[in-house]
Amino acid sequence: MQIPDAVQRREFLERTFHGDPQGRESMEELLDLAGTSSAFFLEGRMRTAELAQEIIDELPEDQLPPPEEPATGIEQEGDSIGRYTLLRKIGEGGGGEIFEAVQDGMVRTVALKIIRSGMDTESVVSRFEAERQTLEIMEHPNIARVLDAGRTVHGRPYFVMELVRGPRITTFCETERLDIPARIELFLKVCQAIQHAHQKGVVHRDIKPANILVENVDGTHVPKVIDFGIAKALQGPLHGRGGMTQMGQFIGTPAYMSPEQIDMGGMDIDTRADLYSLGALLYELLAGRPPFDTEKLLEMGMTEMRRVLIEDNPPLPSEVARTPAEEGKGNTLPGPGEKWANALRGDLDWVVFKAMEKERNRRYQTANSLAMDLRRYLRNEPVSARKPSRGYYMRKFFQRNRAACLLGAAMLISLVVGFGTTTALYFREKEALSEQARLKQQAQARANVSRAAILLSEGNTAGADRLLRQDSLESIEASPEAAEVFRSLGRWNAVFGRWDQAAACFRMMNEANRLGDPIRILEGTDLLMTAPSYLEAGDRKAYLEFRDEMLERHLPTRNALQAEHLLKVCLLIPAEPAVLKRLDAAAQMCRDHKPGKPGIPEWNALSLSIYHFRKGDYQQAIKDADKCISYKDAAGSRAAAARCLIAMSRHKLGDAKEARSNMEKVRAELARVESLIDEAGFPPIGTWFSWAMVRILEREAAAMTGI
């Protein structure tokens, strides 16, 4: 359950339950059920409460307990609560009642919120007292401060907050008929407030329009975030007396709650939950309605509501904005729906949906990053939420410089009409100069890389490093000559364990190799260097793309040498059955190798061992690995790789003793080689890419066997 990526989870299950389809089926069923178990228990308890109520309804009146005093209406206007006198009720909701109150001996008024009956007052107030100590350090013009807390004489907890006189932010935008930029500017102030709170270690947990009010301060409209910390104080732990007093009740509004809030019940909530709620608030400000209808969600029941919030995406804001308001289900936006929707389509749709990503690691990670993207939108700059393209950048440039672009276009047209051929020649000359400058830069970059390769051959690594920083490797045009430069640089970086740089060099080398002879490339060492470099650098995606390209380019193989290279390159990590099937002919070519033909028997045996292990034929994998070890190996890397395959195959066959024995030999061999490393780099014996393959297989074997 701790593996969120579906592909990685599937691969893990394939490895763990290989040869045990019933076990895998049972585990997949458990994983499916795990997602709905919490909702199942909540609904069960809710149903128990309903049955209890039905029994009470059927009891005779003389057997009924005395009715409890209703929770609402206990405190009235004019009553005193602690140091505060209630003036008038200004609000009421699911969380309780809000009064305007005045503090004894002071002229200022405050908002006093009395939490509804049914909460465990001792735990609620104690939790809030601890939270209030954190909230006291927050000083921000867009955050309404929480001033005090306590309990009424009836035992209900109350909170005293700064009184904000103004409507909720959505009502304010509708009343003032604000356009899109004005709504975003107002929302940016909310982001600043949330960022300030997050920096102080405080998570709101209940961001929604009702908790963001807009008041007029000296002629300026200032949004104020209220109820900071109250959601956390009310929620508390989910067990003991600190939990919910009524099963099925939760703190928050479903339409604005992040998937982890409804899924985890508040057990693993961080600042990214507020980012989701900010996205839902922005959705409503731009689309005219919330992303989900709270009433409909509650009518669905806990299980279906949870599924919708975790799995379903709301429609795009631009699609909702196009719905006419008079239909009763549309938006409350000013102006023509089509024009408003066109303004939202694209960047703002991307920004909203990035903030509301179901997977929190893919959301904006801070309120500042969300605010920065919105500021980019207001300045007609590219936003990070959208996948960039050349046309997108050009369109943004035109929007930022509309007047200058139009004036330039008019002048260009007049020049073309007025000067004709002269203008065409001028632009042709300018184009040639630009191309000349580009070629000069490209030549300089290529010369720098060539000089760096020379410096490396002379042992001047520091000089080569400084030289390479002058120009990007990507500025060099792909060519057979460039392939050799990148080959040298990649090999040098790999020898010293700089895998990110090595992978980048080999990536450029392979682009240049597309112009070369595929037979020479497959029979050489380019592919043998590239594949392990990607995995050592931790770039699994690049390796899989590389594997697919090699299969397309080099199949079918023509001899055992090509087949052996391709098998090793493509099977460093587990492969799908379709990939293994495509390699069947290459494996057969290794088996049929005859002396005198291109191919190396000992390496053929290793490649066949890898192939059979990936196929699940562990006995044959052990036979081929033993055959590989029977050949003399001065470097030791080939035998070490074979022992990794024997250890994993023995583990699969239930022979833990042999698996451990081979793992110990592999690690001893790696330790021996590493002890010989000096300033010349890695490895001192054998080839670095063969040892890289050993390390990759050893990591897989360690993870599989637990040894």
Q: Stretch 43-55: mean pLDDT, rounded? A: 66
| Residue partners of 705: CB distance under 8 A and separation at least 6 | 647, 648, 651, 656, 659, 660, 663
- pLDDT given for residue 442 in this prediction: 67
Torsion of CA 673, 677, 680, 684, to 10 degrees: -20
CB atoms within 10 A of CB 687: 16
The catalytic site residues sit at 206
Of 197-211, 257-271, 415-429, 679-693, where does the model show the most confidence?
Answer: 197-211
Domain ranges of the chain: 6-36
Pick the range with the lowest mean pLDDT from 435-449, 541-555, 590-604.
435-449
Pick the range with the lowest mean pLDDT from 234-243, 308-317, 331-340, 558-567.
234-243
Task: Measure the N-to-C terminal CA separation of the chain; round to a whole number of Å.
Answer: 23
- pLDDT given for residue 585 in this prediction: 94
Q: Coil, strand or helix: which one is 346?
A: coil
Model confidence at 402, in pLDDT bands (50, 70, 90)? low
pTM value is: 0.47
Model confidence at 275, in pLDDT bands (50, 70, 90)? very high
How high is the mean pLDDT of the chain?
Answer: 81
Closest CA to 465 of 479, 448, 482, 480: 448
DSSP tag of 361: G
Which is more confident, 398 or 638?
638
Pick the range with the lowest mean pLDDT from 39-48, 155-164, 356-365.
39-48
Q: Stretch 221-248: mean pLDDT, rounded? A: 57
Has residue 374 got a pLDDT over 90?
Answer: yes
| Residue partners of 653: CB distance under 8 A and separation at least 6 | 618, 619
Q: Stretch 285-305: mean pLDDT, rounded? A: 84
Q: If 0-12 CB within 10 Å is exposed, 13-18 middle and 19+ buried, where does residue 346 land?
A: middle
User: Strand (E) positions, 174-313?
Assistant: 212-217, 220-225
Which is more confident, 75 or 410?
75
- pLDDT given for residue 568 in this prediction: 93
Q: Coil, strand or helix: which one is 158?
A: strand
Give dist(CA 432, CA 435) in Å, integer.
5
Q: Stretch 597-612: mean pLDDT, rounded? A: 93
- pLDDT given for residue 146 in this prediction: 81
570 phi/psi in degrees, rounded to 5: -90, -10
> How many alpha carbons fall within 13 Å on the CB side of residue 291?
28
Q: Stretch 398-408: mean pLDDT, rounded? A: 64
Has residue 665 got a pLDDT over 80?
Answer: yes
Give dist(CA 222, CA 208) in Å, integer.
16
Paired tokens of 72:
């609402």
Q: Stretch 116-131: mean pLDDT, rounded? A: 64
CB atoms within 10 A of CB 322: 22
- pLDDT given for residue 385 in this prediction: 78
- pLDDT given for residue 8 in this prediction: 79
Beta-bridge partner residues of 162: 110
Model confidence at 61, in pLDDT bands (50, 70, 90)? low
Give dist(CA 471, CA 469) in Å, integer.
6
- Report pLDDT digits (tens) over 614-658: 999 999 999 999 999 999 998 899 999 999 999 999 999 999 999
- pLDDT given for residue 234 in this prediction: 56
Paired tokens of 274:
């507020």
Q: Stretch 124-143: mean pLDDT, rounded? A: 73
| H or E element in which residue 146 lies | strand 146-151
Model confidence at 249, in pLDDT bands (50, 70, 90)? very low
- pLDDT given for residue 242 in this prediction: 33
Contact yes or no for 323/337 (Cβ under 8 A): yes
- pLDDT given for residue 247 in this prediction: 35
Of 106-115, 363-372, 443-452, 504-513, where does the model show the most confidence?
Answer: 363-372
Paired tokens of 703:
């993870």
Q: Stretch 230-238: mean pLDDT, rounded? A: 54
Pick the range with the lowest mean pLDDT from 11-15, 91-95, 161-165, 613-617.
91-95
Which is more confident, 38 or 130?
130
Q: Coil, strand or helix: which one is 650?
A: helix
- pLDDT given for residue 238 in this prediction: 35
Q: If 0-12 CB within 10 Å is exposed, 13-18 middle and 19+ buried, where does residue 105 land?
A: exposed
- Report pLDDT digits (tens) over 480-508: 766 777 788 788 788 888 899 889 888 98
Model confidence at 611, in pLDDT bands (50, 70, 90)? very high
Q: Stretch 347-369: mean pLDDT, rounded? A: 90
Contact yes or no for 240/248 (Cβ under 8 A): no
Give dist(CA 70, CA 156) in Å, integer.
12
- pLDDT given for residue 517 in this prediction: 85
Give dist(CA 677, CA 261) in Å, integer.
51
Q: What percent of the chain has pLDDT over 90?
A: 34
Which is more confident, 563 or 491?
563
- pLDDT given for residue 207 in this prediction: 92
Give dist(CA 621, CA 646) in Å, integer.
7
- pLDDT given for residue 435 in this prediction: 66
Torsion of CA 545, 549, 555, 559, to 10 degrees: -90
Asked if the peptide bond before residue 598 counts as cis, ω within 30 degrees of 0, the response is: no
On whether 113 is known to bind a ligand per the annotation, the reply is yes
Q: Stretch 328-355: mean pLDDT, rounded? A: 80
Which is more confident, 443 or 103?
103
Pick the range with the lowest mean pLDDT from 10-19, 25-34, 469-478, 497-506.
469-478
CB atoms within 10 A of CB 555: 15
